Structure formats: C-alpha cells, structure tokens
Amino acid sequence: MSSTITDTNFEFPGQKSVYKGKVREVYELDNGILVMVATDRLSAFDVVMPKGIPYKGQILNQIATKMMDATKDIVPNWLMATPDPNVAVGHACEPFKVEMVIRGYLSGHAAREYKAGKRMLCGVAMPEGMKENDKFPHPIITPATKAEMGDHDEDISKEDILKRGIVSKEDYEVLEQYTQALFERGTQIADERGLILVDTKYEFGKTKDGKIVLIDEIHTPDSSRYFYADTYAELQERGAPQKQLSKEFVRQWLIENGFQGLEGQTLPHMTDEYIETVSERYIELYENITGEAFQKADISDIQTRIEKNVLAYLKA
C-alpha cells in the first residue's frame, strides 16, 4: 500500500490554532495567514473512512487551486500560494456557517429526496415528472448547514438562514450571486473538457476587513459531481445510470455494502485492492477535470516534505 497522510501535527512559527475538518486540517498563524493541508482522508455520508487514499489530498488541493485561479476574475478568493502539492496558504477568514450547494441536475441527494416523494428541497420547488439525472429548467441553490466532524450537514432554506440570523440578508445576496457566477464558469470549464458540471458546493468567508471571499475547495470530485457529456443524452434516454466523475462511486459502493452513515450501520471493510482502485479513479478525475496528466508527488515521507516546503515558504 502506498504511503498516505491521514493526520498531521505540525508546529509552524506563530501558530495560534489548528482546526481538523473531515478532510482538511487548517493551521492558523498569528499573522492572519492560514495553512490548509489536504489529507488523504476519504469522507462519505459525513463519515471518515478508516484508511487514506493515496494521492487524494494532492489531487483535491491541485484541482481546487487551479479552479480558484480560473475564477478569481469573477469571485475573490482566500488563496495566496501553494508551497506543497498538498498545501494551500491564504488569508484567515471567518467562515459563513452554511455551504452554498447549487444543482443543475436531479442527482445524488436531490434525486434520493425526489424518489422519496419530496418536491421541495431547501424551500425550492422541484418540477413534477422528472427522472433521476434530468436537467433542472435552471440551476437551484439548496444550502446546507456546515457540520462539525462526525455530524451531518443538514438541508436548510434561505428563509430559515435569514430568520435564524445565520447570514444577514445583504451578505446572503452576495453569496447567491457568487454561487451562480462560479457555477456558470465551472459549467463552461467542464464543457471544454467534455464534461457536465452536475452539482457542487461553495464555501465562503469574510476577511478581517469585511470582504466576502471564496474559501476551501472548488470544483473538486469531493465537492462536485460531473457527468461525461458525450454519453449523457443516450444514457438518459435509456434510463441507464450516468458515468460519473465524482466520489459518488464510493457512496454507491458503501450503499451496496449496507452502509449509508445511519445509526447502527457498520462500515464495510475496504481492502487494499479496493483502495488502489479508488486512488486510480481519483487520478482519472484529476486528468479529466484539468485536462492535464497527473504528476505524482514523492510520498515516501509526506509529513517531512510538507513541513519543509511550508517552513521554506513562511521564511521567504
């Protein structure tokens, strides 16, 4: 089994705090800088799998930073530099406590809710007569509350967000506008690669001077779902499942093995062979999404490599 990074315990100069999310670990320094390390942890149904996936952190970090670079002309973001394949460095922000989920198609969670007979998702109406993976008349925003590690993100409507004072009306309108602009740009980028951006989520924060910026990941296979454009219509017509570029294949494997993150369910065992196939699938995702060949970083001692690269950047 290839070497992976599933946990970090760095001590950077001027370090104030460490936040450990489901996949990323964020080190806050006293100069207003964040060092975000993308680990190889794999999360599905809000549960972190016991084993890491080789190169996954590098893949997510590099897709996210490329996509931030490709969208910074329309939406400002937190990113300053990427001193290591698994690391992004940027401005410390106060995150909004909602994820802005936007859906162009009836897929994943939306399709499961639709199948259960629901026609409203997060206060947004879904048309009658749709089948799984059909395109919505126009993209819909279906926000979720941001859960702590081990908890589940929960659907929430715009009305509830405003009523509960989670986000102000003025700020929420900016989040909506940014979400639509990013999804439009992401759709264009995907189209150039022969892909369809099906749905995705964006996270935003405020800088110390009150500016709203995009934070965390963007258009990665962990935060987004992609279909292949050339087979979409034919598969849809036949009622066949779409070939997906996302971690939905992991969710499907878990469902087939009796796990959906529900109480009393036990995580199925992931063999080394299965983990290798997941790693290969993530590399395929990277190459399809970016249009570039994936360059594997040295994983013989990831911790030391990251520490050395980050310290050299901070010193410079």
* pTM of the entire predicted model: 0.89
Question: Quick one: pLDDT at residue 1?
Answer: 43
Least confident of 23-37, 272-286, 290-304: 272-286
CA atoms within 13 A on the CB side of 149: 12
- pLDDT bin (cut points 50, 70, 90) of residue 160 is very high
DSSP 193: T
Non-local (6+) Cβ contacts of 279 within 8 A are 2, 53, 54, 55, 56
For 48, the enclosing helix (H) or strand (E) is strand 47-48
Strands (E), 92-187: 94-95, 98-105, 120-121, 124-125, 135-141, 144-145, 154-155
Running DSSP on this structure, what letter comes out for residue 98? E
pLDDT of residue 147: 63
What integer pLDDT is reported at residue 222 of this predicted model? 83
* Residue 144 near residue 155, CB atoms below 8 Å: yes
69-91 pLDDT tens trace: 999 999 999 999 999 999 999 99
Q: Is the pLDDT of residue 57 over 80?
A: yes
Can you tell me whether residue 184 is helix, strand or coil?
Answer: helix
Q: What angle do CA 282, 287, 292 make, to 5 degrees?
A: 145
